[in-house]
């Protein structure tokens, strides 16, 4: 009995301890009750509760869902997310379910939504095994990391960052997205159904890509593992190779 010989003086004895503990418990319960009385009949006054309409497609914290066509939002630069919300609201970026949800929401609210998802950092998913051949992946890697100067195609990393984590405030990271989503977006840029503020840099880039390029780049990007620090780098960390309306210098 190691402890038996040690005299541990109790600060409070028996009944008194019980009485004080009970009083404290009652006080705490009363405080909780009072707070609950104010909010019991109201939804939580939080952004999480306000963006519940986003979660069936984008996940509770913007981590994405099993549907490969719905993108991860979490951790992307707030400026990028805000631009997308504005573009969906005005109909410039077309996806009727999004256009419909945002149509009558004011700018400051869209900004708050963008900030909310930008500040969430659920872990990046494990990359899924790729369905394309090694050669195609190698072609994707080549284009993403070095581009193709002969065809006027800049490397993805020249704007989206060496770690592909994006740059504040307007350039999105490309990690945690599935190949079908990336491929669909590049396709939309190529065909001009997705556009952005002029100079519309992504449309210029995607205009030089072939369908095979798109498949290869999308496949390779989707295989990238999570980096140690997935946060977008600060504004001005590197210079963009050409002008981009979404990221004014």
Partner 1 sequence: MGSRLSITLLALAAFTTAAQAQDKDKTGDIVARGEYLARAGDCTACHTAPEGRLFAGGRAMPTPFGTLYTSNITPDPETGIGKWSADDFYKTMHNGRFPDGGLIYPAMPFASYTKVTRADSDAIFAYLRSIPPVSQKNRPHELRFPYDNRQLILGWRTLFFSEGEFKPDPKKSAEWNRGAYLVEGLGHCGMCHSPINALGGTSQSDAFKGGLIPMQNWYAPSLTSNREAGLGDWSIKDITDLLQTGVSARGVVYGPMAEVVHNSLQYLDDADTKAMAVYLKGISEPSPPPPASSALPTTESSLLISLGKTVYDKNCASCHGTQGEGKPPHWPPLANNQSIEMQSAVNPIRMVLNGGYPPGTKGNPMPYGMPPFAGLLSDNEVAAVVSYIRTAWGNRGTPVSAREANELRSAPLN
Size of the site for partner 1 (CB under 8 A): 29
Q: Which residues pair with 167 in a beta bridge?
A: 171, 233
Tokens 């990238």 locate to: 224
Sequence-ordered list of residues with C-beta below 8 angstroms from that of 163, at least 6 positions apart, any chain: 227, 229, 230, 233
Judged by beta carbon, residue 10 or residue 41, the one nearer partner 1 is 41
Judged by beta carbon, residue 21 or residue 193, the one nearer partner 1 is 193
Indicate whether 219 belongs to the interface with partner 1 (CB under 8 A): no
Indicate whether 100 belongs to the interface with partner 1 (CB under 8 A): yes
Q: Which residues of 140-178 are buried (b: 16+ CB within 10 A; e: fewer)?
A: bbebbeebeeeeebbbbbbbbbebbbbbbbbbbbbbbbb
CB of 184 to partner 1, least distance (A): 16
Q: Hey, which residues between 112 and 171 contact partner 1 (CB under 8 A)?
A: 112
Indicate whether 36 belongs to the interface with partner 1 (CB under 8 A): no
Judged by beta carbon, residue 10 or residue 42, the one nearer partner 1 is 42
Q: Which stretch binds partner 1 (CB under 8 A): 30-38, 48-56, 177-185, 187-195?
A: 48-56
Q: Which stretch binds partner 1 (CB under 8 A): 14-22, 49-57, 151-159, 176-184?
A: 49-57
Q: Fill in the DSSP letter of residue 150.
A: G
Give how far Cα 227 sits from Cα of 20, 125, 132, 141, 176, Å: 51, 11, 23, 16, 11
Indicate whether 106 belongs to the interface with partner 1 (CB under 8 A): yes
Nearest to 248 by CA among 170, 181, 190: 170
Contact 172, 156 (CB under 8 A): no
Residues that bind partner 1 (CB under 8 A): 41-43, 49-57, 67, 90-92, 96-97, 99-106, 108-109, 112
Binding-site annotation: residue ranges for heme c:
54, 57-58, 98, 156, 159-160, 202
């Amino acid at each position: 009995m190691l402890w038996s010989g040690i005299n541990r003086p109790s600060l409070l004895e028996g009944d008194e301890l019980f009485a004080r503990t009970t009083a404290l418990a009652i006080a705490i319960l009363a405080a909780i009750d009072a707070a609950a009385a104010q909010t019991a009949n109201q939804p939580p006054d939080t952004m999480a509760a306000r963006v519940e309409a986003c979660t069936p497609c984008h996940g509770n914290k913007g981590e994405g869902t099993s549907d490969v066509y719905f993108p991860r939002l979490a951790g992307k630069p707030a400026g990028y997310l805000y631009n997308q919300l504005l573009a969906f609201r005005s109909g410039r970026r077309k996806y009727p379910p999004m256009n419909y949800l945002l149509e009558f929401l004011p700018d400051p609210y869209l900004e708050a939504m963008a900030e909310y998802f930008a500040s969430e950092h659920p872990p990046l998913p494990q990359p899924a095994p790729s369905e394309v051949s090694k050669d195609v992946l190698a072609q994707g890697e080549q284009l993403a990391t070095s581009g193709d100067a002969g065809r006027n195609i800049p490397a993805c990393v020249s704007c989206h960052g060496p770690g592909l984590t994006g740059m504040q405030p307007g350039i999105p990271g490309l990690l945690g997205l599935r190949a079908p989503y990336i491929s669909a977006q590049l396709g939309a840029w190529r065909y001009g159904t997705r556009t952005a503020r002029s100079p519309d840099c992504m449309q210029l880039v995607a205009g030089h890509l072939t369908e095979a390029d798109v498949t290869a780049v999308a496949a390779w990007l989707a295989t990238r593992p999570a980096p140690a620090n997935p946060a977008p780098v600060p504004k001005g960390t590197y210079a963009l190779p050409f002008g981009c309306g979404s990221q004014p210098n």
